[in-house]
Amino acid sequence: MKNYLIIIVGPTAIGKTALSIKIAKHFKSEIISCDSRQFYKEMTIGTAVPSTEELMAVPHHFIQNKSIFDNYTVGDYENEVLPVIDQLFHKNNIQVVVGGSGLYVDAILKGFDEFPEVSEEIKQQIENEYNKDGISYLQNQLNHLDPTYTEFLQNTNPQTLVNPQRMKRFVGVCLASNKPYSSFLNQKKANRNFIPILIGLNADRNIIYQRINNRVDLMMQNGLLKEINDLYPHKHLNALQTVGYRELFDYIDEKLTLEQAVEEIKKNTRRFSKRQLTWFQRYEAVDWFDFNTPVQSIISKISTKINDE
């Protein structure tokens, strides 16, 4: 019997959670989250974790199963999620994945290349130089050690070149291996025991933006500022370097007024949604639906694809 993994993608606030529950109920499956912000048990309101009722409606996996104090990577996720998916296929050969983190969808679909370990000594060396010279040190180093990858990022994802965590990783691999970071890419071909069925939700850009604005307002009404205050002592942690948290940390630090911080959350979330769509539109196999499409129409499409296999 073939295994089918229904993967629901799309921009934030589009309605992926509600759709995933309806689809999982129809196929009597469970739900695997690949939303990297919802892994952390200390982050609830700002990550739009499914409600108690939603979590009770269908068994969920990888929701608030980690702590912000854990050093958790996409590679760790790949190693953990694949055995869980395999176990679920023993119950039912159709399972559902949902989330807006493209890198984590990639982890499930095709996996990642293996990189050399970077020693603590090299990490500290990079950290010291970064603290002294800032992002320009990382950019210059990567351009020197791997000009091919630097050019690739400039042409495809320039935001990465100003992301300190990612850049430290790239430079660290180069220094640890004495090889370009790009030499480790696209080496591994993942073997998967399922057929993916990708379903995308989308809407007119103005509708997406309005839904984002409404969600942020609702988060504030539901106590996001209190959640941020509780997490403020740990604001340096990687898990908290994310939209909805950084802006309110700036408010607490008196860099922004509360009104400005909320507007920044909305603006940055809108930008994030555009990046999500750009990422998922690279996938050729996605069947895209308007967010208002009746669920039964989407289920019919999925059933047809399964029956045609």
Q: Note the pLDDT of residue 31.
A: 98
Average pLDDT for 105-123: 88
Could you name the CATH architecture of 120-184? Answer: Orthogonal Bundle (1.10)
Distances (CA, A) of 307 to 259, 301, 302: 52, 10, 9
3-state DSSP call for residue 143? Answer: helix
Fold of 4-112+188-308: Rossmann fold (3.40.50)
Residue 241 has pLDDT above 80, yes or no: yes
User: What is the overall mean pLDDT for the chain?
Assistant: 94
- Identify the weakest region by mean pLDDT among 77-91, 104-118, 125-139, 257-271: 104-118
Q: Note the pLDDT of residue 282.
A: 86
Dmax over CA atoms of the chain, in Å, equals: 60
Percentage, residues of the chain above pLDDT 70: 99
- The CA angle 74-238-251, to the nearest 5 degrees, is 140
Q: How confident is the model at residue 157 (pLDDT cuts 50, 70, 90)?
A: confident
Q: Note the pLDDT of residue 217.
A: 98
Average pLDDT for 75-83: 93
Token pair in block for residue 174 = 């180069």
Euclidean distance between CA atoms 177 and 200, whole angstroms: 39
- Going from N- to C-terminal start, the domains of the chain cover 4-112+188-308, 120-184
